[in-house]
Amino acid sequence: MNDNPWLIAGIIDRTKDMAKELGLRIEPGSYNNIEIMADNPPYGKNVMLAKLDDWATANLYLQGYRQGKLEMTALAKSKKAKPKEPEHIDSETCWCKPALDYTDPDTGVSVYVHRRTQ
């Protein structure tokens, strides 16, 4: 098979740049493998994240890693945006000041409608 060296060189360069951008490093592994290593939290020092056979696969791995980081960041921001309301309790003393909806005449049990904060 006759691979275009310019195409391979471009993939290698983009993969190395992406690893550096993500705070990872690429090292040669045994049997011509490519190892993607991390040194920062949450992984720790000198932790291998992936051992891949070729540069194209390493590039795809890093693209997926970057997408996962973007999605986790977006998820964390969305969770921070909505403060969690306290848990409701089954009585008129609940923090949301519920309205009395119904009282069973036989048992005397009251049912309250809780309010949601906006």
What are the residue ranges spanned by the domains of the chain?
A: 5-81, 83-118
Q: Sign of the C-alpha dihedral, residues 21, 27, 32, 34? A: negative
Q: Sign of the C-alpha dihedral, residues 26, 28, 34, 39? A: negative
The answer to whether residue 114 scores a pLDDT higher than 70 is yes
Q: Supply the DSSP symbol for 87.
A: P
Average of pLDDT values for 5-34?
A: 88
The pLDDT tens digits for 58-94 are: 999 999 999 999 998 888 887 766 667 788 887 778 8
What pTM does this model have?
0.60
